[in-house]
């Protein structure tokens, strides 16, 4: 069959993100004997025109629409992408079988299917089930019953099957260099799954709670090809956590050092699993920035959010990064169950003490079905048990959020390195676009942090070191 893959994601904030999910699916589709074309709407001037042209030129039997984001998860400046997906589907649905997939679809399958009018969709990873679904479409066989497959007008899907391993993305159809120049990096996934149980988090829902690592040699081959074939000089690892399990992270860093790739890179790091030895290997392998999922500086809040680490471990990982010369952003999440003035003050005090390059702050936590926070929100009446969450609802509810937002905006406004996307503190879409036009590499908070220094406020020294 002729398959058209469409990446529906047009978001460029904080940067355009290469459609890695479809790149992982390209090879399984080809191996199953189908021909595939790609339409990436990220850089399309007119999405509707681009879709129409791709349908005319390719006359596909099946259109696969990858939906990465439901919305920008940013209170109070929430932006939904559902209308854009609906438009794409409506242009395709009379001309081909339309299949939805991607993280956004996996989080809200029934409501997104109903809202867009697509024929069917796949919850979870597509590598194993998609070829089977295509086979059934080709044979005109019923689609129901395949793991993770939802059909319009049908019920909830059979549980998705999580594959035992992670494949290799194929980037042949994709414009890697445009994402490098306009997005500042190539993205690479070295593992899937997270065993931790933070109360609000969808990652274990999306990828399962068992970590599946790709062989280090295979990841290094992918990196080598990115460098040699596409001129990539900066990589963002998009694993849920780069530094866990530590042994796998060490092995990958050692393999990268041996290959002498000449790359710089950044990654998400769990403050609880970073020691001097691993950080040293990371730096020698090219790491120049890490994003710490700190969430809070309050021991009470860390416990209530289900975090697996302590404030002391946040201090230690932060100090190690500073000593190693690795730029550091702490992500803070205000508004979890039990957040109050005192716990906010504890987070502010910890960030003042650690003085990282950037503190990226979100106010309010988006509620997703299947998380512990959802159960809490139902119990407290923030959402009703059957409430559709396609449109975002943020914990702890609007009235509490407004109060919290005022406090956080006041604190952030006094600190040049605090970035609050939802409240436009020390960032804005315009500033991000301007920085991307300068073809900056890596996460933009590194540059925003430097701008704070250029404006005459040097980075304060840490107040205390344990």
The 263-302 contact track toward ligand SF4, x by CB under 6 A, reads -------x----------------------x---------
- Using CB under 6 A as the binding rule, whether residue 227 contacts ligand B12 is answered as no
Is the bond into 44 cis (omega within 30 degrees of 0)? no
C-alpha span between 229 and 223 (Å, rounded): 10
Residue 177 C-beta: closest distance to ligand B12, Å: 14
> Site for ligand B12 (CB under 6 A): which residue of 203, 212, 224, 319?
203
The site partner of 298 among ligand SF4, ligand B12, none (C-beta below 5 to 8 Å per kind) is: none
- Using CB under 6 A as the binding rule, whether residue 70 contacts ligand B12 is answered as yes
State how beta strands 186-188 and 327-334 pair.
unpaired
> Site for ligand B12 (CB under 6 A): which residue of 3, 4, 8, 24?
24
Q: How far apart are the first and last CA of the chain?
A: 62
Q: Which is nearer to ligand B12, 189 or 343 (CB)?
A: 189
Residue 302 C-beta: closest distance to ligand SF4, Å: 11
* Alpha carbon 77 to its chain's center: 18
Sign of CA dihedral 417, 185, 19, 244: negative
Cβ neighbours of residue 450 closer than 8 Å, sequence gap 6 or more: 357
Residue 258 C-beta: closest distance to ligand B12, Å: 25
The 71-100 contact track toward ligand B12, x by CB under 6 A, reads xxxx------------------------xx
- Using CB under 6 A as the binding rule, whether residue 331 contacts ligand SF4 is answered as no
C-alpha span between 34 and 125 (Å, rounded): 19
Unique residue bearing structure tokens 């109060």: 403
C-alpha span between 40 and 187 (Å, rounded): 16
Q: Which range in 200-208, 273-281, 382-390, 453-461 contacts ligand SF4 by CB under 6 A? A: 200-208
> Site for ligand B12 (CB under 6 A): which residue of 36, 116, 187, 213?
187
C-alpha span between 187 and 9 (Å, rounded): 15
Among residues 194, 192, 201, which one has the least CA distance to residue 306? 201
The 113-142 contact track toward ligand B12, x by CB under 6 A, reads ---------x--xxx--x------------
Q: Which is nearer to ligand SF4, 29 or 206 (CB)?
A: 206
C-alpha span between 370 and 254 (Å, rounded): 37
> Site for ligand SF4 (CB under 6 A): which residue of 96, 198, 219, 408?
198
* Alpha carbon 24 to its chain's center: 16
Q: Which is nearer to ligand B12, 187 or 347 (CB)?
A: 187
> What part of residues 245-264 is at the interface with ligand SF4 (CB under 6 A)?
none
In degrees and rounded to multiples of 5, residue 61 shows phi and psi of -85, -35
- Using CB under 6 A as the binding rule, whether residue 187 contacts ligand SF4 is answered as no
- Using CB under 6 A as the binding rule, whether residue 347 contacts ligand B12 is answered as no
The site partner of 404 among ligand SF4, ligand B12, none (C-beta below 5 to 8 Å per kind) is: none
The site partner of 287 among ligand SF4, ligand B12, none (C-beta below 5 to 8 Å per kind) is: none
Cβ neighbours of residue 186 closer than 8 Å, sequence gap 6 or more: 18, 176, 179, 180, 226, 230, 232, 234, 235, 236
Cβ neighbours of residue 173 closer than 8 Å, sequence gap 6 or more: 5, 26, 36, 37, 38
- Using CB under 6 A as the binding rule, whether residue 11 contacts ligand B12 is answered as yes
Q: Which is nearer to ligand B12, 11 or 138 (CB)?
A: 11
DSSP bridge pairs for 7 = 40, 66
> Site for ligand SF4 (CB under 6 A): which residue of 204, 286, 364, 421?
204
Residue 268 C-beta: closest distance to ligand SF4, Å: 8
C-alpha span between 64 and 24 (Å, rounded): 13
> What tokens were used for 182?
């306009």
C-alpha span between 401 and 362 (Å, rounded): 11
- Using CB under 6 A as the binding rule, whether residue 143 contacts ligand B12 is answered as no
Q: Which is nearer to ligand B12, 185 or 409 (CB)?
A: 185
Cβ neighbours of residue 345 closer than 8 Å, sequence gap 6 or more: none
C-alpha span between 179 and 156 (Å, rounded): 36
- Using CB under 6 A as the binding rule, whether residue 194 contacts ligand SF4 is answered as yes
Unique residue bearing structure tokens 């940067």: 15
- Contacting positions for ligand SF4 (CB under 6 A): 194, 196, 198, 201, 203-204, 240-241, 270, 293
- Contacting positions for ligand B12 (CB under 6 A): 9, 11-12, 14, 16-17, 20-22, 24-25, 64-66, 68-74, 99-104, 106-107, 122, 125-127, 130, 185, 187, 189, 202-203, 206-207, 236, 238, 240
């Amino acid at each position: 069959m002729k398959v058209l893959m469409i990446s529906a994601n047009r978001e460029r904030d904080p940067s355009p993100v290469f459609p890695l999910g479809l790149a992982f699916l390209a090879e399984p589709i080809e191996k199953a004997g189908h021909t595939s074309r790609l339409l990436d709407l990220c850089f399309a001037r007119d999405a509707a025109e681009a879709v129409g042209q791709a349908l005319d030129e390719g006359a596909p039997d099946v259109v696969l629409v990858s939906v990465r984001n439901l919305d920008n998860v940013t209170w109070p400046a929430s932006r939904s992408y559902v209308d854009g997906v609906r438009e794409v589907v409506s242009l395709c649905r009379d001309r081909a079988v339309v299949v939805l997939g991607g993280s956004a679809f996996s989080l809200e399958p029934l409501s997104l299917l109903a809202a867009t009018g697509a024929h069917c969709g796949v919850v979870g990873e597509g590598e194993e089930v998609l070829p089977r679904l295509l086979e059934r479409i080709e044979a005109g066989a019923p689609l129901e019953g395949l793991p993770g497959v939802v059909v319009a007008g049908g019920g909830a899907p059979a549980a998705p099957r999580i594959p035992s391993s992670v494949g290799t993305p194929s980037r042949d159809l994709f414009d890697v260099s445009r994402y490098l120049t306009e997005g500042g990096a190539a993205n690479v996934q070295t593992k899937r799954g997270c065993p931790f149980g933070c109360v609000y988090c969808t990652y274990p829902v999306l990828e399962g709670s068992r970590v599946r690592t790709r062989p280090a040699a295979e990841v290094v081959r992918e990196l080598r090809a990115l460098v040699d074939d596409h001129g990539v000089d900066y990589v963002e690892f998009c694993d849920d956590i780069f530094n866990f399990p530590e042994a796998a992270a060490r092995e990958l860093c050692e393999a990268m050092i041996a290959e002498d790739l000449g790359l710089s890179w950044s990654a998400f790091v769990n403050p609880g699993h970073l020691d001097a030895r691993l950080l040293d290997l990371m730096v020698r392998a090219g790491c120049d920035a890490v994003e710490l999922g700190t969430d809070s500086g309050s021991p009470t809040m860390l416990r209530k959010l289900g975090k697996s680490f302590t404030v002391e471990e946040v201090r230690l990982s932060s100090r190690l990064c500073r000593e190693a010369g690795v730029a550091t952003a702490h992500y803070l999440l205000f508004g979890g169950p039990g957040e109050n003035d005192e716990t906010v003050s504890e987070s502010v005090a910890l960030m003042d003490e650690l003085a990282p390059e950037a503190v990226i702050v979100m106010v309010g936590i988006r509620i997703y079905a299947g998380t512990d926070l959802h159960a809490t929100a139902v119990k407290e009446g923030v959402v009703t048990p059957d409430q559709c969450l396609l449109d975002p609802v943020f914990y702890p509810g609007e009235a509490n959020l407004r109060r919290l937002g005022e406090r956080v905006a006041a604190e952030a406004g006094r600190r040049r390195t605090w970035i609050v996307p939802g409240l436009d503190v020390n960032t804005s879409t315009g500033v991000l676009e301007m920085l991307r036009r300068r073809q900056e590499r890596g996460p933009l908070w590194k540059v925003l942090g430097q701008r704070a220094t250029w404006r005459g406020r040097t980075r304060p020294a840490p107040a205390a070191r344990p």
